[in-house]
Amino acid sequence: NQALVTMLGYDSKEQLLAANRASVIIPNLRKNVPSALGSGERLQIEPIELDWMRKDGAILKVRLGGRGAFDENGNFSGYEIIAVDITEQRTLEDHLRHQADSDSLTGLANHRRLFEVLQAEICRSKRTGREFSLLLLDLDELKKINDRLGHLIGDRALCRLGQILQDCCRSVDTAARHGGDEFALVLPETGWAAATLVARRICELLGRDTEAPALSVSVGLASFPKDAGTIGTLLYAADKSLYEMKAAQPRATSAGHST
């Protein structure tokens, strides 16, 4: 099929067949196509999605479907397979999904995604018996920065903090913009002591940032299930810790903790 040859970036059917001798480009369909449904001329293949490799090494997302093929005597002779390139469709869907879960300014998870992560971590903690921690961070004096230097510099300050949070994250952690000048960091399987070290690391990195204006954060910390039993009470405990710290140390350099 010339359309398939073109889709995969080859010049001819023979070139594609030669390149696919080890079933690297197009995996063996007998192992991937699900059992056909029905019988006779209505024999159908359930649509499935597979990854195929183009000649240039790019991966295509391909949807396969088809039906049974029969000879002139009505005997089943194989399948007619229809392959559709859905790479752009899946890329667009991933992009839209990312936009729905992300803060448009910082690129961090947004408020909606933060709540999803917290719910998932609470369920996991209840299942495994292992705690997790939540850091809430408030960028100090953002209003003064906006009033004195303008909102572009204020937005840049938010992005600077967001980048430092990303730099301090493990792959399993989730950094989020909770709203306005407030951020959150969810630390799975992390107790209070380890979370405090993360908070101090964030403050140290922000303190070493040479870009003007100088920035600082107030940090609140709460752990599940030690400090709370629900999303609401966990956020309340971390928020209470943050404002206790803010009241005691307006330009904080270490983490607070709810008691």
Name 50's bridge partners.
Answer: 62
Distance, CA of 96 to CA of 4 (rounded, Å)? 28
| Token code pair at residue 184 | 């959150």
Residue tagged active-site, from 103, 140, 173, 181? 181
Tell me the angle at which helices 231-248 and 111-128 cross, rounded to the nearest 10 degrees. Answer: 110
Known catalytic membership, residue 85: no
Note whether 185 and 165 are within 8 A (CB). yes
Shortest CA distance to 164 belongs to which of 48, 156, 120?
156
Note whether 64 and 83 are within 8 A (CB). yes
Q: If 0-12 CB within 10 Å is exposed, 13-18 middle and 19+ buried, where does residue 222 land?
A: buried
Distance, CA of 100 to CA of 109 (rounded, Å)? 9
Angle at 186 (CA atoms; ends 171, 96), nearest 5 degrees: 65
Could you tell me where the DSSP H helices lie in 62-108?
A: 87-101
Q: Which helix (H) or strand (E) holds 135?
A: strand 132-139
Active site residues: 181
